[in-house]
Structure 1
Amino acid sequence: MFFFFKLCVFVLSFMICFSEAVISCFNEDGRPVDWFIIYKLPIYKMEVKGSGLEYMYLDSTVTNWQMSTHTINSSRGALGRTLTQLYYKYKSNSSVYMIYNDAPPELKYPSHYGHTKERGYDYPSSGKYYGQTLNCITYNSIQFPLISQQLAFIYPRVYNCSVPPAFSPHIAVMAQICDAKTPFIKTPKNLLKLVSERGQTFFSFAKSPYYVDDIYTGWVAQTLGTDLLVESWMHQGHQLPSNCSLSHHVMNIVSVCLPGPQMFSSYEDHSKWCVSYAFKDQWTCLGDLNRDSGQAGRGGGLICSQNPIIYKAFRQAMAGYKHC
């Protein structure tokens, strides 16, 4: 039956899939978990050169970041174990999946597509240099129509997908996108509440190219009612400065320090995340948009929660920020 299906979602390297069999996020030991987060380390960490394949791991069963014994390109790590499920099922008529990337393999890179990521399990050499984050969440299939709606706003560049006819009525937007059609949206942005398989609440902020603004300043901080510290790629010449012009402020993180210590500047980090400045608010968001004027007119979004484990891990990772 449809309601026994499972859904797995990756944010930043974003994949969506579900099937009649049990599909879940897998931890480093190959066991199902409600969610996990990976922080891939950049090659250069305070002038110390690494491989660009090491990563820190976090899930609901641990209290802080742990250095993985695997590398990001290993099939034995959490990412490899989770994606392997797709490879075993992707030809089945009982499975739905969508793979997308703003710069898919062997295709050119047009900026009008949403700044969102998706790939099969083949970590590219170009991805070694900078830091990255990845979030996997396990959802029951009753959440899937809601996630399907959000896809209409972020405008993903799909390069591989499957929506068998039996599933189309439940996930009509995803089916349209899979058929290379553009779904109609009534508003330029959308906020939805999602609940993971084990009851963790997440909030999905999704914006279309028609919402031309910095998502962090103009929408997320004001909606959550909290000042935000934002980590995003500060590599280009048109990054946005910290902004204190509205009721709730947004300040750029300039350096990150993970346990080890693993310290690096935002210049070396291609991840996009934010935390509430005030510890009492406990907000953490992971997404796919930089604080960059060139991305104000792109589709994309953030997944936010008030999970104390996630908040503690990311708030303590903030090693420096620039006030307004």
Structure 2
Amino acid sequence: MISLVFLSFVACSNFLIVDGYGCKDQNNNDVDWFMAYKMPRTDDNSVQGVGQGVGFYYMDVNTQSMDPSSNDISSQNQAIAYTLKQYYDNKNSGSFAHVMYNDEEPGSKDVLEIYGNRSKFAAKAEFGHLKGVVFFDQSSGFWLIHSVPKFPAADAYSYPDSGTIYAQSILCLSLDYSQLRKIGTQLYFNHPDIYSSSVPTSFASDNPDLVKVVGGQYKTGAPYTSILTLTTKGGQSFTSFAKSADFNQDLYDKLVAPTLQTSLNVETWRRGSLISLDCSARYLVLDVQEIKVENTAEFKYTHDHSKIAVSGDSSKPYVCIGDINRMTSQYVRGGGTSSQFEEMYTEGFKPPRPGGTIRPPVDESTNQTSFQRDIDASAEPYRRTVEPEYKIQETYFYDEEIIEYERIDCTPNMCCHPYSMLRWFEMVVFFTLHWLIQITCARTTCTMILTEFGYKAYGQAFILCVIVLLAGCCSLILIAYSMNFHKARPELILGFERVYAVSGIVLMVLCGIIGSYHAATTTDEYINQLGRGISGIRPQWIAAAVIEFLTAVLFCADLYGQNRDGFPFVFSRHRKTEDHEKARQRKEEAIRQQRIRESFY
């Protein structure tokens, strides 16, 4: 198991920055660079805002450690807000260039919002997987690289509610104007999804690639990668890695690790389509399992959305902060990371131990190595025991597409969620109807209704068939919930629920009419005396008819509830495009492809 632990970051010297635009520190002073790590929403209240999902740790070139921020990330009085305020104060000025990009744009509208829970829907795969803000005048500016979906807004500073659940990473670099050309080149390779931009004509000749990016152009064909050195205003060097969609490989495995010539321990968003461990690689890239920041509680990678890589070799102390995930589905999307030597490196990083990968490596050849088998065996317990920290809801993923559910605690044999208890009640109703209708008893024997009544009981035989059919459907629904099938195929189970409810309404009304008719036409006194009760079979059939009508009302309420938010379970999505038909197709494809990993059960 690998633990990524942020303890003490080494910073050797202080840097003074000349007046101009750039990153701001926690006191709104100029700073050469800073990084922030927003904590996931947990029950740990030792740091301001962590319980609400807005607490964060901060460090910059002048600090010696990761320090908890006294103001949370939603406040206007902290480094990130101070930095972006420069853009907000000058956004309408023609003297500044800015580019705001995010593969999940701020203000994305809900397609289907159930039970009021937040979620995010599919990022447009045709764009790169990157998020950030570029802001410059013709003297200096900053580049803010982050992992937060729907952030920041283009009009005023705010932190989105959707960004509170998981941990996030933010890196800010203060740069001279000459570095803007390099940023433009990296974005040209990355193909960002831009939601706000402005590049004055006076910037165009110096920044040709940035102009192309704002115009919607992006890199195709060879070369597929770009590695550039960005020098901050204080003289610090950051190596920027960028890949285009045509690279079709993992950024960390095939570009960052070989270039830096060091193994890497990488924490990114990992859901489905994971990357196999390449045991033959000279520099191994391992996936982080657990994260701990200072004195706050340790948490699992499933609560982290940051994009951080740390060198596994202390003699080559690199820290990389970027915006692309380590997943096979990200091969065909642009993205990048920026690496810094020594200044941000943590001496508290734990070395990898066996079983550290989230998934056992897959050997493409027919012969699997013993090392791979060992990892397979040691990883198995973790795939079985990962538990969500919050009991209100669970979230399941396919790449960056997220579906949230109200938590339904089930075992393979039983599901006691309140909604499932409704289905159990319906089973009791069906059994009661079966008891009232199927058997008639004389003084000494009990017989099937058809045996006693012949053709006169065909209507009641039909009712028995209906009861068996509905009871079978109800049983399938209970089994689906108990096996958590609703999490893997939510739309299928919801569709089946609706068919079941509509069928229940129609069939129960029909059964009630038939039962009432038989009760009214049963005049044979001998037959009437064969009922289970002392009053005869006619009251028995009347009781069955009443229950059938009441059950039809119950099914009506069920169907009505299914058309309202939050019934029978949370199933929410957000969409960021106004093209309804294309969004619908993407949604169906995402549901079709989604695979729920065993580690969530």
State the TM-score, normalized to the length of structure 2: 0.48
Out of 111, 114, 118, the residue aligned to residue 128 of structure 2 is: 114
Instruction: Check the 8 A contact 2:220/2:246 in 1, yes or no.
Output: no
Could you tell me which residue of structure 1 aligns to residue 36 of structure 2? Answer: 38
Alignment-mate amino acid for residue 307 of structure 2: K
Contact 1:254 1:320 survives alignment (8 Å)? no
Instruction: Give 4+ residue runs of structure 1 displaced > 6 Å after superposition.
Output: 45-49
1:69-218 → structure 2 map (5 Å cutoff): 69-107=70-108, 109-118=123-132, 119-120=152-153, 121-182=157-218, 186-218=222-254
Q: 1:257 touches 1:319 (CA, 8 Å); kept in 2?
A: no
Whole-angstrom distance in 1 between the partners of 2:278 and 2:268: 14
SS of corresponding position for 2:345: helix
Separation of aligned partners in 1, 2:251 and 2:64: 29
Select the structure that is richer in strand: 1
Percent identity reads 30
Change (3 A) 1:184 1:297: closer
1:162-185 Cα offsets, whole Å, 9 max, x none, are 001111111111112222334566
Q: CA RMSD in A?
A: 2.1
Q: Which digits, 9 at most, give the CA deviation of each residue in 1:105-141, with x for residues without a partner?
A: 3457311211111423321111100000000010111
Deviations 1:229-258 (A, max 9, x none): 111123x12222443321111111101111
Return the letter of the residue paired with 2:40: P
For 2:352 and 2:160, locate their aligned partners in 1 and report how far apart those are by CA, in whole Å: 30
Describe the shift of the 1:46–1:291 C-alpha distance in structure 2 as closer, same or farther (beyond 3 A): farther
Q: Larger RCO: Structure 1 or Structure 2 (Cα < 8 Å, ≥ 6 residues apart)? A: 1
2:57 is the alignment partner of 1:56:
yes
The answer as to whether partners of 1:213 and 1:296 remain within 8 angstroms in 2 is: yes
Residue in 2 that maps onto 1:233: 269
Question: 1:68 corresponds to which letter in structure 2?
Answer: S
| Structure 1: runs of 5 or more not aligned | 1-20
Q: Please tell me whether the aligned partners of residues 288 and 301 of structure 1 are also in contact (alpha carbons under 8 angstroms).
A: yes
Instruction: Count the aligned residue pairs.
Output: 300
The corresponding residue for 1:4 is none
CA offset at residue 305 of structure 1? Answer: 1.1
**Quick check: 1:261 aligned with 2:296?**
yes
Q: CA contact under 8 A between 1:257 and 1:317: conserved in structure 2?
A: no
Per-residue CA distance 1:13-34 (angstroms, 9 max, x = gap): xxxxxxxx82110000010000
Single out whichever of 112-121 and 183-192 deviates more from structure 2: 183-192
Secondary structure, aligned partner of 1:25:
coil
Alignment of 1:245-284 (within 5 A): 245-284=280-319
Deviates more, 1:154-163 or 1:244-253: 244-253
Give the gaps of 5 or more residues in structure 2. 1-18, 109-121, 133-151, 358-374, 376-601
Which whole-Å CA distance do the structure 1 matches of 2:282 and 2:217 have between them? Answer: 39
Partners of 1:58 and 1:91 in 2: how far apart?
Answer: 31
Deviation at 1:274, TM superposition (A): 0.8
CA distance in 1, matches of 2:262, 2:351: 19
- In structure 2, distance between residues paired with 1:40 and 1:318: 21
Residue 93 of structure 1, CA deviation = 0.9
Query: Could you say which structure has the higher helix fraction?
Result: 2
Larger radius of gyration: 2
TM superposition score normalised by structure 1: 0.87
Q: How does 1:302-317 map to 2 (within 5 A)?
A: 302-308=337-343, 310-312=344-346, 316=348
Paired position in structure 2 for 1:17: none
Return the letter of the residue paired with 1:311.
Y
| SS of corresponding position for 2:247 | coil
**TM-aligned CA distance change 1:181 to 1:297, over 3 Å:** closer
